[in-house]
Amino acid sequence: MTEVRTRGEHDWTPWRAVVAFGLVSLAADMVYEGMRSAAGPFLGELGASALTVGLVTGAGEAIALGLRLVTGPVADRTGRHWGLTTLGYALTAVCVPLLAVTPLLGAAAVAAASLLMLTERAGKAIRSPSKSTLLATMAVPVGRGRGFAVHKALDQVGAFAGPLVVAGVAALTGQLALGFLVLAVPGVVSLVLLARLRRHAPAEPPQPHEAEEVSAGRPARPPLPRSFRLFAFSCSASTLGLMTFGLISYAFVDTGLVPLAWAPVVYAGAMAVEAVAALATGGLYDRSGARVLYPLPLLVAVVPALVFADRLAVVLLGVAVWGVATGVQDSTVKALVADLVPAGSLATAYGVFAAAQGGAALIGGGLAGLLYADHLGALVAVVAVLQVASLATLLLAVRERDRFGP
C-alpha cells in the first residue's frame, strides 16, 4: 500500500527540497555522529577491549549497510519511502540519548551500550535506501552530483557540530554520557523538519505500479545491471580497507596521542574535511562523470599507515585523508548508483550496494582491530592489495556502463 499525499502541498522548488533534506540530515547527524565520534573511547571507558570496539563498530556499520538489502526492496515494493525514512530517523533520535544511562548498569554496561549503538545503526539501514531514493528523485532537475553534494555538505555541518557538543559537555563534566543526553534536542528537531519536508517536497519516488510489470502473474522490477554489480564490488573493497573512526579514535586515545575529551574534536575536523570533499567531487561528477572516483582507492590505501602512526601530526593527516575518502563514498558514489540503475529498482540497488559494503565493514573492523597494534605492516599490505582490486573493478564498471548503458 503506497503513501498518499495531497497534491496541492507539493509546492517547494527542487533546490529548496534538497536543502531542506540536508537540514534534516544536519540535525540527525548531530545525534549519531556525535555518538560515533566518541563510541570507541566510550566503550573503552565502560571496560571494552580493542577487539570488542573493532567488532562492535564494524558490526554497527555492517548492520547500517547490510540490513538495507531488506529495507531497499521493501521500499520499492511498498512505495513507503517516507514512512521508512521517518522510522529510521526516530530510532536514531531515541537510541543515542539512552546511552547516557548505560554507565549506571554495572557489568551490563558494555552490552547495553553496544545494543543501543547497533539499534541506532539499524535505524540508519531502515531509512537510507528510501532517503537516497527520495533525494535522487528530487535532485534530477538540479543535477544529481550537485544535489547529493549539497545534501552531504549540510549533513556534515551536523557531523561537525555534534562531536563538538559531546566534546564540550565532556570537557565541562568529565562524562561522555551526558553529551549523548544533550543530543536528544537535535534528534527532535530532525523529526519536526522531516515532517515539514514530507508535506512540501515537489517530487515522489517511483511508485510500485510504475516500477513493476506483470510477468507470469508476478510483479517484476527491472534487473540490476552488470555495471552496477561491478561498482558495488569496487566500493566494497574500498570499504573493507577504510576502518571505522571508532577504532581509529580508540588507537590514538589508547596510545596517549589525543586526550579522551578531544577525540570528538578530531572527528569534527574529519567531518569538515568530508563536507568539502563531497562538495568538490559532486560538482566534478556532474561535469566529468565517474572519473572523479578514480583516486578513491589510492586515498583508502594510505589511511592505515597514517592513522596508526606514533606521531600526532601524521595521525591527524591520516584522519583528514580518511575524511576525504569517506566523503566521496557517502555522497558521489550514490549519484553514480542512480545513473547505473533503472528508476524502479533504485531503492533495491541502494540496499544491495550497502549490503555489500556492510559485509566489508564487518570484516574490515575485525581485521583492523586484530592487526593494528602488532601487525601494522600486514594490515597496510592487505589494504593496498584490496585497493588495486577496487580500482580495476571500478574501471571495468565504467567501461561496462559506457558500452551498454544502465
User: Strands 213-215, 218-220: parallel, antiparallel or unpaired by DSSP?
Assistant: antiparallel
- Report residue 379 as a C-alpha cell: 594490515
Cα 191 from chain centroid (whole Å):
19
| Domain covering 9-203+223-404, topology | Growth Hormone; Chain: A; (1.20.1250)
Q: Which of 124-128, 188-192, 347-351 has the highest mean pLDDT?
A: 188-192
Is residue 159 pLDDT above 50, yes or no?
yes
Query: Do 122 and 67 form a contact (C-beta atoms < 8 A)?
Result: yes
Bigger pLDDT: 101 or 44?
Answer: 101
Nearest to 163 by CA among 245, 265, 247, 45: 265
Nearest to 96 by CA among 30, 24, 168: 30
- Report residue 291 as a C-alpha cell: 572519473
Is residue 284 pLDDT above 60, yes or no?
yes
Residue-wise pLDDT tens digits, 11-52 = 788 889 899 999 999 999 999 988 888 888 888 888 888 778
Bigger pLDDT: 73 or 209?
Answer: 73
Which sequence spans correspond to the domains of the chain? 9-203+223-404
pTM metric for this prediction: 0.70
- Report residue 361 as a C-alpha cell: 565493514
Bigger pLDDT: 329 or 317?
Answer: 317
